Amino acid sequence: MKNLLTLSILILAFIACNNTEEKTVQVSDNEKLVKQYFEHFNKHEWTKMADMYAENAEFKDPSLGQGIIKQTKKQIIEKYSELNQVFPDLHDKVIQMYPSGKKHIIVEFVSSGTASDNSKFELPICSVITIENGIITKDFTYYDNFDEEQTQ
């Protein structure tokens, strides 16, 4: 009886260790994917970046309006190409990534750029990215969308 109890405890410990290891691999893959995403962004590789999304990914983004908006890869490429025209040195600096469960990564970053008139912007942003089967299916982005003139 004592041997059976010991064997049962060892089996449960083994299963628990294997489950933890599996989750770590999944989160690690998601973190790698998000790092690759920001590399494409900073190199202005809009097509490669858009290819990381599902065909009709869901977005929450103040620049797109209220609520959840579905965007195609083509729309993603157009949006960032236009933004890049205004800010040729567009860049995102990742401050921290926070894995959250099997499907989510929360990313804290600062977006910056310089327009042709030498005006600069620096915007702290937080995104909650949902990844399913190696593809970004949701990108819920939060930042202060108030114009300085509106708040004065």
| pLDDT surpassing 80 at residue 47 | yes
The residue among 66 and 97 whose pLDDT is bigger is 97
pLDDT of residue 144: 87
pLDDT at position 139, please? Answer: 98
The pLDDT of residue 150 is above 90 = no
Give the mean pLDDT of 62-82: 94
Name the least confident of 15-24, 108-117, 118-127: 15-24
User: What number of other Cβ atoms are within 10 A of residue 91's Cβ?
Assistant: 16
Check residue 57 and give its pLDDT: 97
The CA-based angle 146-64-93, given to 5 degrees, is 70
DSSP assignment of 75-104 equals HHHHHHHHHHHH-TT-EEEEEEEEEETTTE
Tens of pLDDT, residue by residue over 18-38, are 554 444 544 479 999 999 999
CA Rg, the chain, in Å?
A: 21
Q: So what's the pLDDT on residue 21?
A: 47
- Could you read off the pLDDT of 92-109 as tens digits, one per residue? 999 999 999 899 999 999
Q: How far apart are CA 90 and CA 20, in angstroms?
A: 38
pTM, to two decimals: 0.77
Domains and CATH numbers, the chain: 2-151 (3.10.450.50)
Q: Residue 50 has what pLDDT?
A: 98
